[in-house]
Chains A and B, each alone.
Chain A
């Protein structure tokens, strides 16, 4: 394996051997270590000293079901700390087949110079891309696939990344004409924009395969893993995840009073039935759209959908829970068509639907439009892509929008908007938001559905639960596994160990795996400490400690002492 380093200041690419310190790391783990080793933690996230890292997980390229996610990382302009965000698509499977452990983007070109990076089986070239300036992610991907072949992978930013909006994400194409995979969180699209990098094109790795240290061990463990996914009641062909996608939880999250509604002012939305996964599925099938498709090659869960309008014309693929929560109930919208249109626009401009949905919720609370007013909300969002002054405010996320319009009720932690679980009625997620080095990010440790262990409305046990979930998430994000693929490897960590050893031959034990997972968090915490982030920067907003949330009328009341003790046993 090798590292592909791209110096945007000097317009040079070069290949490095993987130093020992990075050898047994992938995805989020590699990003954390690399940032700590190579960048000044106090650097400007949008300046030349930050680095943008693309890294597949340790299982990437091996053909393990659901293990093809691509991690993207750097210092976040939103949080000021370490950030890893990941996406499906084909990049996470392709890069390891070319022997690439990571792409590291360094330096900065002259202002308004745009480039694309073209990676083939035996070369990498940095090429001018000023002709792509101002293009959305869909047009960028289409044009580059016309130029480089329909089967290449395109990683790109839209207008939001070019404008250096802190809510900007990075789009990754998938199999055939699939779009809409986004490494959305933390503003890393702005970091890509700050590097003058519009896109990365990766050729299809024809005839390329990963070498296996122990092919028999790998095949047996990967097969068992896939079978366990298929047998899981949540994930198999009769499971809610497959049938209804991530939207399967809309009804349940609403019922337990945690669905963000009208700028997080309630946990119940009266129109939630129209946003439920069951309704989503019925609608798509009636219109001859697609459900049960996959975002990564070989995924057996297949929770993706292609949402179409009433004439069967595709609007967006895939419409997911977080977007439905932040751009549906959070904006007072109960029409999936409206949410799908907003989702398409966010994808095209290249902004995170969570950050932008939260920012729009704040803008509505400020009186820029009424909750539920579809046309007005669409008009507000259009301005993000146009780069108007108002659009730049909203595109810079929830905190900036709150500040500009004098709104105190800003659902954000460490500068990053909360996802679709209000922490006042799902306190385990609040503990994760308030302690994760990633800021308010459900993928860092989602406590939804963990009732058997801890009462979501209580305080007791939340600290331990969050830490456990954060360690598991670190493992998933470092191996390239989808969040939903966790049940088999939680039940049997040896399965994960065998798959890693089958590919890499490191002779890991379960203890090695656990140490590696914990080291991810330790490294990230150390980076954030050196960046000057303190526990005070992580607090849940004061209003959420004061204003009870309907329907349970609970506040976030986990004491600071409990939050500060989360990592005591790391």
Chain B
């Protein structure tokens, strides 16, 4: 299963996803989601 698929299952709007991490590693929508991992979605943001 990819990050994109999980986002779909959760009903998240892809436009409202800015940063994704899997077990603390920044990831992308097409990355696979390993079983038992910690997956985080953050809104679009920029550092400052």
In the bound complex, what is the Cα–Cα distance between A441 and B34 (angstroms)? 36
- Interchain CB contact under 8 A, B18 and A234: yes
In the bound complex, what is the Cα–Cα distance between A168 and B25 (angstroms)? 36
B7 at interface, CB cutoff 8 A: no
In chain A, residues 442-491, which have Cβ atoms closer than 8 Å to a Cβ of chain B? 442-443, 446, 448-449, 451-452, 455-457, 483-484, 486-487
- CB-CB nearest in chain B for A552: B24
- Interchain CB contact under 8 A, A256 and B24: yes
B11 at interface, CB cutoff 8 A: no
- Interchain CB contact under 8 A, A484 and B46: yes
In the bound complex, what is the Cα–Cα distance between A240 and B46 (angstroms)? 9
| Contact partners of B6 in chain A: CB under 8 A | none
| Contact pattern, B 7-48, Cβ under 8 Å of A = 1, otherwise 0 | 000000001101101001111100000000000101111111
Of A232, A241, A446, A449, most buried by chain B (CB within 10 Å of CB) is A449
A251 at interface, CB cutoff 8 A: yes
With A443-B48, A446-B48, A449-B47 in contact, is A252–B19 under 8 Å at CB?
yes
- Interchain CB contact under 8 A, B21 and A448: no
- CB-CB nearest in chain B for A429: B47
- Interchain CB contact under 8 A, A449 and B45: yes
With A455-B26, A551-B24 in contact, is A252–B42 under 8 Å at CB?
yes
Partner of B48 from the list A255, A452, A484 (CB cut-off 8 Å) is A484
- CB-CB nearest in chain B for A452: B28
- Interchain CB contact under 8 A, A252 and B25: no
Q: How large is the interface on B (under 10, 10 to 19, 20 to 34, 35 or more residues)?
A: 10 to 19
A454 to chain B, nearest CB (A): 10
| Contact partners of A551 in chain B: CB under 8 A | 24
A85 at interface, CB cutoff 8 A: no
Number of A interface residues, CB 8 Å?
A: 34
| Contact partners of B27 in chain A: CB under 8 A | 451
| Contact partners of B48 in chain A: CB under 8 A | 246, 321, 442-443, 446, 483-484
Partner of B43 from the list A233, A443, A448, A457 (CB cut-off 8 Å) is A233
| Contact partners of B25 in chain A: CB under 8 A | 256, 457, 552
- CB-CB nearest in chain B for A425: B24
Of A248, A252, A446, most buried by chain B (CB within 10 Å of CB) is A252
With A233-B18, A252-B19, A449-B19 in contact, is A241–B24 under 8 Å at CB?
no
- Interchain CB contact under 8 A, A248 and B45: yes
- Interchain CB contact under 8 A, A449 and B21: no
A147 to chain B, nearest CB (A): 34
A421 at interface, CB cutoff 8 A: yes
- Interchain CB contact under 8 A, B46 and A251: no
In the bound complex, what is the Cα–Cα distance between A255 and B25 (angstroms)? 8
A14 to chain B, nearest CB (A): 38
- Interchain CB contact under 8 A, A257 and B24: yes
In the bound complex, what is the Cα–Cα distance between A297 and B28 (angstroms)? 37
A239 at interface, CB cutoff 8 A: yes
- Interchain CB contact under 8 A, B46 and A448: yes
Of B15, B26, B43, B47, most buried by chain A (CB within 10 Å of CB) is B47
- Interchain CB contact under 8 A, A249 and B45: yes
Of B15, B40, B45, most buried by chain A (CB within 10 Å of CB) is B45
- Interchain CB contact under 8 A, B26 and A234: no
The 25 sampled A-B contact pairs (Cβ below 8 Å) are: A233-B43, A234-B45, A239-B43, A240-B43, A241-B46, A249-B46, A251-B42, A253-B47, A255-B24, A255-B40, A256-B24, A321-B47, A321-B48, A442-B47, A443-B48, A446-B46, A448-B47, A449-B18, A452-B28, A455-B26, A483-B48, A484-B46, A484-B48, A487-B46, A551-B24
Give A residues with C-beta under 8 Å from B.
Answer: 232-234, 239-241, 246, 248-249, 251-253, 255-257, 268, 321, 421, 442-443, 446, 448-449, 451-452, 455-457, 483-484, 486-487, 551-552
**Known A233-B18, A443-B48; further 6 A-B contacts with Cβ < 8 A:** A255-B42, A451-B19, A451-B26, A452-B28, A483-B46, A484-B48
